[in-house]
């Protein structure tokens, strides 16, 4: 076997000031008015805007370096292959994976979780085995396990959250039993911003021989993730929340797990040889990447990783923490606003309701003020049920968010109250 180039960890954050004006200038869409007002974009948790560096990387592929990858002997194909596989190295470095082969490119976190459920899950679980989830999981980390429950008879256990939206490690650990095979848990809640106590949960799971899958969609854009230090067996994220293109994401899995897992889909690229009698599968990670992949998407994701690493994940986190504190203080002055998700150490997601106003109505009025927020259940209906509400308004921060955005949000909420007074 040829030696594999090993990923390097993400560079440490610098001490340089966070230049919010320069960051905002990187995002062309922020200069586009909405309803005659400056755009205040507060929906990054759903899908982040794209910097010019990512837009240029994607268009540059199609203008200068596009060809199908891996199998072409001509120069253009070799160039595209190098860019695509270079993006895999960048993902491995971002997560501090031990080996680049531990990174599988997929359409996003949803496909990654389905892959684990349908390959590792079917190979390692039988009727009566258990998967532990938390109350605040995104639907993409609930439904695949329900599908597996329907097909092979596993059981699901759900760890509770408290009225702040906090998750206690002890409550997860208490559910671990002799039939528990997997804990599938978010790193940071998309509906509440709660950051979960992963290290304690993973350590307890591994003491009991239980594997752990982590949904890192909200964590990767705003904090340093080290899968080796965490000890996660599986870690998934979507590129479009990390300022990259849609339709691309990644699964990290420990190499020995990937090598033991059966393929997820069959077709080109995931094979080494095919006859009508027998197929020999390719090595990992290619065994799980059937068909022509999202070549430009992966390269765009690599550019997005370059972008956040150049900003410094530590500096991004500090910027967001300060802005979240500013937002909480501003919203606290509005008697009609109730916040959902007030756990300590949470990330830049603010879910709230305005007294007497349906979230969809609030979102529509805010839009007319140029403020883009999310209104709904945020693909986390069990969270809404916990708080006894059908939906919330969610304002979520990105690298480009600033105090003026929060000021516009507060002014928009006051406008909502005027209309519904």
Residues catalogued as catalytic: 379
Contact criterion met (CB below 8 Å) for 245 and 335: no
User: Which strand (E) or helix (H) includes residue 88?
Assistant: helix 75-95
d(CA 235, CA 66): 29
Query: CB 89: neighbour CB atoms within 10 A?
Result: 19
Which DSSP category does 188 fall into?
Answer: B
Q: Scanning the structure block, which residue is given the tokens 């684990």?
A: 116
The two tokens of residue 263 are: 């393929």
The two tokens of residue 248 are: 């691309």
Which DSSP category does 357 fall into?
Answer: B
Contact criterion met (CB below 8 Å) for 316 and 222: yes
HEC string of 38-69 equals CCEECECCCCCCCCHHHHHHHHHHHHHHCCCC
Q: Which of 326, 363, 366 is nearest to 348 (CA)?
A: 326
Contacts of 333 (CB under 8 A, 6+ apart): none
Contact criterion met (CB below 8 Å) for 39 and 29: yes
In sequence order, what are the beta bridge partners of 276?
none
How much helix, strand and coil, in percent to the nearest 5, is found in the chain? 45, 15, 40
Contact criterion met (CB below 8 Å) for 269 and 331: no
């Amino acid at each position: 076997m040829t030696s594999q180039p090993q990923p390097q960890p993400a560079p440490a954050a610098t001490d340089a000031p966070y230049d919010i004006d320069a960051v905002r200038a990187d995002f062309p869409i922020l200069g586009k008015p909405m309803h005659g007002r400056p755009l205040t974009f507060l929906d990054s948790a759903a899908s982040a805007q794209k910097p010019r560096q990512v837009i240029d990387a994607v268009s540059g592929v199609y203008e200068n370096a596009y060809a199908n990858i891996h199998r072409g002997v001509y120069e253009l194909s070799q160039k595209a292959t190098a860019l695509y596989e270079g993006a895999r190295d960048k993902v491995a470095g971002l997560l501090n994976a031990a080996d680049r082969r531990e990174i599988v490119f997929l359409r996003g976190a949803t496909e990654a979780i389905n892959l684990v459920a349908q390959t590792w899950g079917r190979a390692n679980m039988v009727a009566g085995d258990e998967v532990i989830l938390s109350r605040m999981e995104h639907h993409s980390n609930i439904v695949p396990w329900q599908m597996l429950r329907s097909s092979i008879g596993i059981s699901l256990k759900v760890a509770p959250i408290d009225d702040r939206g906090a998750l206690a490690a002890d409550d997860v650990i208490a559910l671990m039993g002799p039939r528990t095979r997997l804990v599938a848990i978010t790193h940071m809640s998309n509906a509440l911003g709660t950051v979960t106590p992963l290290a304690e949960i993973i350590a307890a799971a591994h003491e009991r021989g239980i594997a752990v899958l982590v949904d890192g969609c909200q964590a990767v854009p705003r904090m340093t993730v080290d899968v080796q230090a965490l000890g996660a067996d599986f870690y998934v994220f979507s590129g479009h929340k990390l300022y990259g293109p849609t339709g691309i994401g990644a699964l990290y899995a420990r190499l020995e797990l990937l090598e033991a897992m059966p393929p997820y889909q069959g077709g080109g690229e995931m094979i080494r040889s095919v006859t009508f009698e027998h197929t020999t599968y390719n090595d990992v990670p290619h065994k799980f990447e059937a068909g022509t992949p999202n070549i430009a998407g992966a390269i765009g994701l690599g550019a997005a990783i370059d972008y956040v690493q150049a900003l410094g994940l530590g500096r991004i986190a500090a910027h967001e923490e300060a802005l979240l504190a500013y937002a909480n203080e501003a919203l606290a002055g509005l008697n009609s606003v109730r916040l959902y998700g007030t756990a300590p150490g949470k990330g830049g997601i603010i879910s709230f309701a305005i007294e007497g106003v349906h979230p969809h109505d609030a979102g529509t009025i805010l839009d007319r003020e140029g403020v883009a927020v999310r209104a709904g259940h945020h693909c986390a209906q069990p969270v809404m049920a916990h708080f006894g509400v059908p939906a919330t308004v969610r304002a979520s921060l990105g690298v480009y968010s600033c105090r003026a955005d929060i000021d516009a949000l507060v002014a928009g909420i006051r406008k909502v109250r005027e209309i519904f007074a």
